[in-house]
A and B are shown apart, each in its own frame.
Chain A
Amino acid sequence: MPDADALQTMPCFQLKGANVPLTALELRYFEVEAFEETLRDKIRQAPGFFRDIPLVVDLSRYKGPSSELDFFQLIGICRRHSMHVVAVRGGDEDQQRLARNASLALLPASSRPESPAGPDQETASQDTPSPEPTAEAARPVEQEQTVPAESRLITQPVRSGQQIYAPDGDLIILAPVQAGAEVLAAGNIHVYGPLRGRALAGVHGRHTARVFCQSLEAELVSIAGHYKISEDLQEKGWKAPAQIQLKENVLAVSPLA
């Protein structure tokens, strides 16, 4: 027991400003089965990625009726898949009241539109509040790149159970990616070694992203959410230098000469 005097001079806690990355779930409509199906599909593409992450439900593109917005169901489904809804962002007064009833925090609507699809680890920043919900029209899939994106360089083997993520640009790995490991990038993935684990390029939806590796032995390769598992990859270029790209929404493997 700390003595009583010390307790009185020491405050129980301190509040600090924090700016943590959150994943936004941009809800277009809510229908229990479709929602869970979509969620499952996302998780299948990047299982480790979604585990125990905090989620913000973004309502800026919500088109369904407010009456169908059952937050209790939504929270329950997410929790079943080990994701935690912590807040909503945007939405009208009715929707915000429903959210408050479900004990969710309210965040101001985002001032800038986001790129669709994928595990979008974007920052729901609270330091630039914009009172007005933006009503901008849907944006093209690929966002223009005006600055060179941050690439990430890894020189050590990526071991089973590890996950490496390049949230903004390319991921370059000068070592093997082992079975049971997972590498993800917003851009391309280059593996100067055997790719034995899972590689997910273009996780924010960039269709032009590619995966390159010195030996294709992958458990799974995904580009912008389109994926092939080991079984299907073995048909072509297996255990050889290869590049994988998206051609008419199908993953195509070609040899790296």
Chain B
Amino acid sequence: MAKIITVTSGKGGVGKTTTSASISTGLARRGHKTVVIDFDVGLRNLDLIMNCERRVVYDFVNVIQGEATLNQALIRDKRVNSLYILPASQTREKEALTFEGVEKVLNELSETFDYIVCDSPAGIEHGALMALYFADAAVVTTNPEVSSVRDSDRILGILQSKSRRAEKGLDPVEEYLLLTRYNPDRVERGEMLSVEDVSDILAIPLLGVIPESQIVLNASNQGLPVILEDESDAGQAYDDAVARLEGEEREFRFLKADKKGFLARVFGG
């Protein structure tokens, strides 16, 4: 039985796809057979970040509509063993993700995988609801700003009422806050909400804080999940988050602005 982890947010552009790529890569790197599914039908971003866009032959919708088998559609990652990608269709309508179709695919994947990571589209429409319905755990990706926090809150409400677990009266979906694009300098200047502010409002466990970093952009452009940039702040922060997802305790890093003065930085003081 696979654990289904949905990366969701409500608000667009907060870093869901970046997070899905890194979390799935991180889980696979820790030895778990993992598949990451792109639910963003019509946009298709995940395969770019995973650098497999040229290997897409069949997609999620083809499988749902019986035009291809799962084995034909799954793309094996070239860097990390036991990581697979199920890409979204670029041409179909969002409604092609039928409830029965999604359920069937997830059930089939569940038989052989340890983790299924679902990259949700933005919003609270059909695609997003499909991505979160079957979730066992949700990584609520949030930027430190009021509108993103509000949308995350909305998504948490939907998880509590409209998920499979809620409808069937099972244990509730595990909810985790992942704060991304965190910029301690701007927090200190009062231009962004702090970790404390956001955790306080959303009142769910904190999975990680990913600093805002140019490295994330560079990595995405090269088709590299940033967690594989082992030396970078953002890569390490994602690695911590994956470890916490598996119950490991790790101290939170990269929360404070660099206090060192210019000279200290230059001379490595």
* Other-chain residue from A156, A160, A176, A196 in contact with B154 (beta carbon distance below 8 A): A160
Query: A156 vs B153: C-alpha distance in the bound complex, in angstroms?
Result: 12
B150 touching A156, Cβ below 8 Å: no
Assuming the contacts A178-B153, A180-B153, asked whether A162 and B201 have C-beta atoms less than 8 A apart, the reply is no
> Interface-forming stretch among B22-30, B69-77, B93-101, B155-163?
B155-163
Q: In whole angstroms, how far apart are the Cα atoms of A133 and B24 in the complex?
A: 68
Interface residue A255 (Cβ < 8 Å from any Cβ of B) = no
Within 8 A of A (CB), among B150-198: 150-151, 153-154, 156-158, 160-161
What's the Cα separation between A180 and B156 when bound, in Å?
Answer: 13
Interface centre among A157, A161, A176, A181 (most CB of B within 10 A): A161
Task: Tell whether, in the assembled complex, residue B203 and residue A160 are in contact, meaning their CB atoms are under 8 Å apart.
Answer: no
Rounded to whole angstroms, the CA-CA distance of A160 and B148 in the bound complex is 12
Indicate whether A178 sits within 8 Å of B161 (C-beta atoms), given known contacts A159-B153, A160-B150: no
Q: Which of A59-111 contact B (CB under 8 A)?
A: none
Partner among B151, B157, B203 whose Cβ is within 8 Å of the Cβ of A162:
B157
Chain A interface residue bracket vs B: 10 to 19
Interface positions of B from 218 to 268, Cβ below 8 Å from A: none
- B160/A156 in contact, CB under 8 A: yes
Q: Does A175 contact B (CB under 8 A)?
A: yes
Once A157-B203, A175-B203 are accepted as A-B contacts, the answer to whether A180 and B160 lie under 8 Å apart by CB is no
Query: Which A residues, 147 to 168, have Cβ-Cβ distances below 8 Å to chain B?
Result: 156-162
Q: Are the C-beta atoms of B161 and A162 separated by less than 8 Å?
A: yes
Count chain B residues whose beta carbon lies closer than 8 angstroms to a beta carbon of A.
11
**Distance (whole angstroms) from the CB of B98 to the closest CB of chain A:** 21
Chain B residue nearest to A157 in the complex (CB): B203
Q: Given A179-B153, A180-B154, are A159 and B201 neighbors across the interface (CB < 8 Å)?
A: no
| Central interface residue in B154, B158, B161, by most chain A CB within 10 Å | B154
B23 CB to nearest A CB, Å: 24
Residue of B nearest to A161 (CB): B154
> Looking across the interface, which residue of chain B has its beta carbon closest to that of A175?
B203
Bound form: Cα–Cα A87–B211 in Å: 59
Cα–Cα distance between A183 and B165 once the two chains are bound (Å) = 24
A247–B156 Cα distance when bound, in Å, is: 37
| Contacting pair A179 B203 (CB below 8 A) | no
User: Which 5 A-B pairs give the minimum distances between C-beta atoms?
Assistant: A159-B157, A160-B153, A160-B154, A162-B157, A161-B154
A selection of 17 A-B contacts at a CB cut-off of 8 Å is: A158-B157, A159-B153, A159-B156, A159-B157, A160-B150, A160-B153, A161-B157, A162-B157, A162-B161, A176-B201, A178-B201, A179-B150, A180-B150, A180-B153, A180-B154, A181-B157, A196-B201
Given contacts A157-B156, A157-B203, 10 further A-B contacts (CB under 8 A): A159-B156, A159-B157, A160-B150, A160-B153, A161-B157, A175-B203, A176-B201, A179-B150, A179-B153, A181-B157
